[in-house]
Amino acid sequence: MAFPEGFLWGGATAANQCEGGYNEGGRGLANVDVMPHGPERRAVGAGLRKMLDFEDGYYYPAQNAIDMYHRYREDIKLFGEMGFKTYRLSIGWTRIFPNGDEDEPNEEGLAFYEDLFRACHEQGIEPLVTITHFDLPIHLIKEYGGWRNRKLIDMYKKLVTVLFTRYKGLVKYWLTFNEINMILHLPFMGAGLVFEEGEDKQAIEYLAAHNELVASAWATKIGHEIDPENKIGCMLAAGTYYPYSCKPEDVRAAQLENQKNYFFVDVQSRGYYPAYALKMLERDGIDIGMTDEDKRVLAENTVDFISFSYYSTRCAADESTECERTQGNAFAGAKNPYLKASQWGWAIDPLGFRITLNDLWDRYQKPLFVVENGLGAKDVVEQDGSINDDYRIDYLRQHIAAMRDAITEDGVEMLGYTTWGPIDLVSAGTGEMSKRYGFIYVDRDDAGNGTLARSKKKSFDWYKKVIATNGEDLS
Ligand code: BG6
């Protein structure tokens, strides 16, 4: 058998991209709510255009998203029908603590997720919970400056204590921060950072990263103390950087880019700052405010497993190298001439998936959990209502085959695989609905029009078969 028994097949979503109900159930406002659809989204996400409230003339897709807040039972039933073993979802921080710094949590928010987890178990689905997926109370940004402020470590500790206590027995798999390395690319989205004129952006990003890393270690400690059964993982936006050529300067450029990403998991998995990061901080005069207690907490509370998203590999070139550059997604780089790209310019590289799996396994020797993979594509609804998304099936088939090879041929140890957006949801990068990843279609467009009705695409039955055969039948 290629995939181990008990392999956790499923799908992954994030609260702000699917729930909606932004002002219901006592929920407070979050950074992700105020990220508009349209050309300014990227600047807002990068912390370069300050937008901390809804402004006139913009459309904010997270306000209603795909209305999962009201439809989760119906949606989870469909996941159950596909045979999901796990469903990865995230907690909206502001449903639990609307401002982030209250003493008592909001019962309505806690009850919402409790029922959602129960709905999963009724379908035989193990929840996999991301504690924060690009999600931070606006109040903590306005009052404290987001994750640049150490006080957020305490707010986060309070949040996780409430979650681990309340959901003991209902949730076993946890991720502390989604794509923690996103701080370096979209710092408002990743850490609630907004930069003022003249600020040292890099210094603030690493300060915020340190605070998140320490908070993540505390969460691991608290989670294990409350329930030793808890398995707690980190989460990286992965995708190995290839050198554009074998020119040593290109190879070095790729090495540096890889280190920028590995830095986070190096700390979370090994428990200390790697030498190259310490040198960089020293060289650039960055003080992250490391205390002795931080060092101890980091060292004693490393993660149980490594989770990551994989959409594509990346390519790095030295500045002197002549090549086409791309800004396909949040990660800029050289354009790989050997690879085709998606409709949104993301390189498609199944072999790169196997390479990335090997790189992470070699480096950490801890079980890997792929918690995002998939193809964002435009779908066409035929006259009879059917959606023939063969391109999505092809993408997933090739990637699952590459993952199978990594397990059977290379000996990579894995816990599971969840595709991104098993149901169409709002794109984090662009705010669009038309960038669809789902097996389940949602009738909603980029401007928020549509009935929100759900329907199955061709890929629905295909993935169902993949899961039923534990990955044996990919045809
Ligand atoms: C990851 C995020 O970066 O990629 C998700 O964790 C996101 O939140 C996914 O949706 C796909 O990116 P996009 O921009 O196509 O939504």
Is any atom of ligand 1 closer than 6 Å to the C-beta of 429? yes
CA 327–ligand 1 middle distance (angstroms):
15
Cα–Cα distance, 360 to 310 (Å, whole number): 12
For atom 2 of ligand 1, the residue with the nearest CA is 428
Going by pLDDT thresholds of 50, 70 and 90, the confidence category of residue 333 is confident
Tell me the average pLDDT across 204-228.
98
CA 359–ligand 1 middle distance (angstroms):
22
CA 372–ligand 1 middle distance (angstroms):
8
Is any atom of ligand 1 closer than 6 Å to the C-beta of 309? yes
- At 145-156, the pLDDT tens digits run 999 999 999 999
For residue 329, what pLDDT is reported? 58
Tell me the average pLDDT across 377-384.
98
With tokens 């984090």, the residue in question is 428
Question: Which residue out of 312, 372, 395, 418 has the highest number of ligand 1 atoms within 8 Å of its CB and is therefore the one to mutate?
Answer: 372
Ligand 1 atom with the smallest distance to the CA of 376 is: 15
For atom 14 of ligand 1, the residue with the nearest CA is 429
Cα–Cα distance, 256 to 262 (Å, whole number): 10
Task: Answer whether residue 331 shows pLDDT above 90.
Answer: no
Residue closest to 82 by CA, chosen among 379, 469, 475:
469
CA 227–ligand 1 middle distance (angstroms):
30
Question: Which residue out of 37, 348, 427 has the highest number of ligand 1 atoms within 8 Å of its CB and is therefore the one to mutate?
Answer: 427
Task: Answer whether residue 328 shows pLDDT above 60.
Answer: no
* CA-CA-CA-CA torsion sign (407, 231, 5, 460): negative
Tell me the average pLDDT across 349-375.
98
Is any atom of ligand 1 closer than 6 Å to the C-beta of 428? yes
Residue closest to 89 by CA, chosen among 420, 377, 443, 462:
420
CA 373–ligand 1 middle distance (angstroms):
9
Chain centroid offset of residue 398 CA: 22
Residue 372 designated active-site: yes
CA 88–ligand 1 middle distance (angstroms):
14
Is any atom of ligand 1 closer than 6 Å to the C-beta of 372? yes
Cα–Cα distance, 243 to 252 (Å, whole number): 8
Is any atom of ligand 1 closer than 6 Å to the C-beta of 178? yes
Task: Answer whether residue 255 shows pLDDT above 90.
Answer: yes
- At 277-297, the pLDDT tens digits run 999 999 999 999 999 999 999
Task: Answer whether residue 332 shows pLDDT above 90.
Answer: no
Ligand 1 atom with the smallest distance to the CA of 437 is: 15
Task: Answer whether residue 441 shows pLDDT above 90.
Answer: yes
Residue closest to 86 by CA, chosen among 369, 311, 353:
369
Write down the catalytic residue from 19, 126, 257, 372. Answer: 372
For residue 326, what pLDDT is reported? 80
For atom 8 of ligand 1, the residue with the nearest CA is 428
Tell me the average pLDDT across 116-145.
98
Cβ neighbours around 209 below 10 Å, total? 25
Least confident among 67-71, 182-186, 266-270, 330-334: 330-334
Write down the catalytic residue from 19, 179, 212, 257. Answer: 179
Residue 205 designated active-site: no
